[in-house]
Amino acid sequence: MTRSYTIRTYGCQMNVHDSERMAGLLEAAGYERSATDEADVVVFNTCAVRENADNRLYGNLGHLRPVKDGRPGMQIAVGGCLAQKDRDTIVRKAPWVDVVFGTHNVHALPVLLERARHNEAAQVEIAESLEVFPSTLPARRESAYAGWVSISVGCNNTCTFCIVPSLRGKEKDRRPGEILAEVQALAADGVLEVTLLGQNVNSYGVEFGDRGAFAKLLRACGDVDGLERVRFTSPHPRDFTSDVIAAMAETPNVCPQLHMPLQSGSDDVLRRMRRSYRSGRFLGILDEVRAALPDAAISTDIIVGFPGETEEDFAATLDVVEKARFAQAFTFQYSPRPGTPAADLPDQLPKAVVQERYERLVALQEEISWQQNRAVEGRVVEVLVSTGEGRKDGATRRMSGRARDGRLVHFAPGERPIRPGDVVEVTIGYGAPHHLVADGPVLSHRRTRAGDAHESGTRPGGAATGLGLPGFGAPPTQPAAAVPACGAQA
């Protein structure tokens, strides 16, 4: 009998990318995706960055225990960052778990499941370094119209609040020819949009001696037939260079969107965070981006209440937010993460102080986001549709999608047979703090191969390697190593 599987993913885009590879591996091994949680194999792809990640995992594992007791042959696997960190602790706390694997050996999942069944004993395998670059593995993509493409994995930075480098390892760069081959394969399958992933995309190329490699990669994506949108995440202000800004402005399919983590507007706090840039440098980058891309939507990450943050430090953050005019900000209250240097810093702030500052920051950013979105009213925007039925407001059925600058747009399709993956043009009638609304008629509708694929339920494939790229040098005979991750708190 064919065994079924389901994967529950927590955390950042890198974990979503890894889960697509896990799904591809399981299907290549003969498993079938389950439409419900009543699966023969349940895989948890965990995150160690988010607050209370371990409590959430063990709570979910506890809920599954009676289900497993009543279903002989059911297996539970735990992978990802929390598995890399906790290792044997997971099986000790939840002895009904069958497999524990880490961030460096995603490829081993099917073998470990089979070994656990054969041996009737839990299998714990945590590699200390990457064995196979995840992007070279088969994948079951979640979307027919958009795809994640990893360009590097790991991180060489030493931010004091972040545990990612100890779980994902030092940065490893995937060769440009391999990346472009995967992008070309996705575009050939009808995918319209790719997001290039890395813990610090701006340092891409340092490992093989080309500091201009990321700008070259963006420009090369502009030559991929059928590829309409290119995004990337996340850059680091320390390594952000003018050649990348020029490549963004001069490559038509690179979207006018930038996610640039600020973390704090206080230079003293940035120093304690080991962020290796200061607020003036950060604002200078934004000025340069907006000079080249006047309509760019810029978002950020900000941590409130870092140890030792004074009222003056927080006021500096508010000042930078006022000047930066972010379209959106992901704001987090600092909480200690075991294993990070910041967890042991003195002057940890009381929860009430952090909460009050957080609320002030959110109120300020909400007002700025609303002003930024109101400024789009009256414009015609191109939307890549991402939802089908959408929500219903009385007799008005709304669908949703993303504008080229990344903003979420809700629109009324009318009687048109619009599908996820199709592209429409609409006029923005109202800008809300977190989205745009176009209640007028759809101005144009382009049916796409991605829409056809979504309608039929087919998904693009995964890995592609090889393909030398002019200007970069030939790819290696063996795939490069690594896996990216996200250091944002929650």
* pLDDT at 354 > cutoff 50: yes
For the CA atoms of 379, 384, 386, 388, the dihedral, rounded to the nearest 10 degrees, stands at 80
- Look at 32-46, 322-336, 458-472 and tell me which has the smallest mean pLDDT: 458-472
Alpha carbon distance 293, 288 (integer Å) = 8
Q: Which residue is it, tokens 């003018």?
A: 242
Fold of 380-452: OB fold (Dihydrolipoamide Acetyltransferase, E2P) (2.40.50)
Q: Please give the distance of CA 398 from its chain centroid, rounded to a whole number.
A: 26
pLDDT of residue 51: 66
**pLDDT for position 131:** 79
User: For the segment 465-490, what is each residue's pLDDT rounded down to a tens digit?
Assistant: 333 333 333 222 222 222 223 445 54
Position 490 scores a pLDDT of: 43
- In this prediction, residue 49 has a pLDDT band, given cuts at 50, 70 and 90, of confident
pLDDT greater than 50 at residue 163: yes
> What is the mean pLDDT of the segment spanning 62-70?
93
**Angle subtended at Cα 249 by Cα 181 and Cα 224, rounded to the nearest 5 degrees:** 20
Do the Cβ atoms of 149 and 179 come closer than 8 Å? yes
With CA atoms as reference, report the closest residue to 272 among 234, 303, 301: 303
Overall average pLDDT of the 75-92 stretch: 91
Average pLDDT score, the chain:
89
Q: Does the 4-125 domain belong in CATH 3.40.50.12160?
A: yes
**Nearest-CA neighbor of 123 among 98, 95, 89, 87?**
98
pLDDT for residue 38: 81
- If you average pLDDT over residues 386-412, what whole number do you get? 80
Provide the pLDDT for residue 165: 82
Strand partners, 80: 46
What does the pLDDT read at residue 13? 84
Residue identified by tokens 């910041």 is 342
pLDDT tens digits for range 254-306: 999 999 999 999 999 999 999 999 999 999 999 999 999 999 999 999 999 99
The 10s digit of each residue's pLDDT in 217-248 is 999 999 999 999 999 998 999 999 999 999 99
- Tens-place pLDDT, residues 360-383: 999 999 999 999 999 999 999 999
77, 159, 398, 444 from 341: Cα distances, Å: 30, 8, 47, 53
Domain ranges of the chain: 4-125, 134-374, 380-452
Which tokens is 112 given?
């470990």
CATH class in words for 134-374: alpha beta
Backbone φ and ψ for 104, nearest 5 degrees, come out as -95, -5
Which H/E stretch holds residue 292?
helix 279-292
% residues pLDDT > 90 (the chain): 73
Q: What is the Cβ-side half-sphere exposure of residue 250, based on CA atoms within 13 angstroms?
A: 12
pLDDT of the residue at 130? 80
Three-state secondary structure call for residue 303 = strand
pTM of the model: 0.86
Residue 15: predicted pLDDT: 87
Q: What is the spatial distance between Cα 380 and Cα 30, in angstroms, rounded to a whole number?
A: 47
Helix (H) / strand (E) element for 172: namely strand 172-173
14 pLDDT above the threshold of 90: no
> Token pair of 115, please?
């070994």
pLDDT attached to residue 389: 52
**Which letter does DSSP use for residue 378 in this model?**
T
Report the alpha-carbon distance of residue 180 to residue 189 in Å, rounded. Answer: 14
Per residue in 95-120, pLDDT (tens digit) is 999 999 999 899 999 999 999 999 99
pLDDT > 70? residue 135: yes
Give all strands of the β-sheet with 328-333 in edge-to-edge order.
Answer: 257-259, 297-304, 328-333
